Structure 1
Amino acid sequence: MKKTRDQNWQMSDTYRIGVLLALAGGFLDAYTFLCRGYAFANAQTGNIVLMGIQAARGEWAGVFFYLVPLAAFFAGILVAEMIRKRYKMSQSIHWRQLVVVLEICILAVAAWIPQGNWNMAANAMISFVCALQIESFRKINGNAFVTTLCTSNLRSATELLYQGVQKKDRGLLTRSIQYFGILLCFVMGAVAGGLLSIAFGLPSVLFVCGLLAVAFGLMFVK
């Protein structure tokens, strides 16, 4: 099957980009949980559960605290789609590279936002970044992947493992291993996020800017 320009022009759908983005995704969840008031950057399901707990307690300020990143995540999906529609056929730069640049800029600002009352703003910015990523990077080597969450990848990895063993199909087993690899990278990112957040505090999120900068550079390779 003939490749489209979007597939052939650069390597945004390759495994190495997926590894970098999964590391970034795990890091950001650990960072916001430890440094930004026990919220999640990626795991909006977790934020919804925590928001429900706050509502059950009648703590409406807490409800709003978790509602804000949810709204920011919603906005990030919309903006990613707008960027894709506007720049998909650009000859000078790939639209996903624009998304990565936007992510880097937002995280660089969030790194210097004070804790306390400003945590809500920082969480909103980081959730917005995660929404940009989850909407823009959906596939690795043609397979559907999520670089900011684990549940769907774990399901796919386990399903492919079972099918690969049952059918003695190395292709399916290879795909399963790739999913487990992305899961491992997410965990490694979370470990790094935990350690660096404890050691360096708020500026530690700049480490993710470095990962994204590497991904941006790699996407110039055809």
Structure 2
Amino acid sequence: MGASSSEADLSTKLDSVSYALGFQNGMFLSREGIDELEMNNYNAGINAGLSSEDGLLTQEQIRSVTSSYLQELTEMRSQENLEAGQAFLEENINKEGVQETESGLQYKVIEEGDGASPSAESTVRVHYEGKLLDGEVFDSSYDRGQPAEFPLNRVIPGWTEGVQLMKEGATYEFYIPAELAYGSRAPQGSPIGPNETLVFKVELLEVKEAGSSN
């Protein structure tokens, strides 16, 4: 795609600023699913924008071509993620200790608890870690060093259903298919893509009454 980080020369402040802006733009493009560009045209577009000269495309054409391309990428990633998730779940259900509910939610008991079980209206305090199928951790209360607290009816359906299976003191691992997670509408700015199957380790610390925040 272009020069690697090892080829960058950061001798001056302008060098560093140029690299930093390029890096930020590259990260943004990566989050949008763009991992390949024609670099000559990309650089020509940057130069035209920097010099405020008329580009080869009108603003309307720019919006149209980028929107169309991003939509195509999203649809392609969505289908790929859906198929990968289905394949994972079909294999995962055969692993020791993994169970499945009628909705398609899969889970494994890591440690049972002996306290209260929540209802869908309960507020719960939990520690959790969320992973993509490739093992990337996208969210972790453990990393933040502080448990999370929320009403169970305000989270993704897989959480609402799954945590109700638990008792205080329990730790479960949930394997949540896309339709019980975020579906095709991935959270903005998140590593989670469209139609991703998600894996959550959840430790239920406390069940509170509905509406309680103390």
Shorter-chain TM range is under 0.3
Q: Who wins on radius of gyration, i.e. which is larger?
A: 2
Higher fraction of helix: 1
| Structure 1 or 2: more strand by fraction | 2
TM-score (norm 1): 0.23
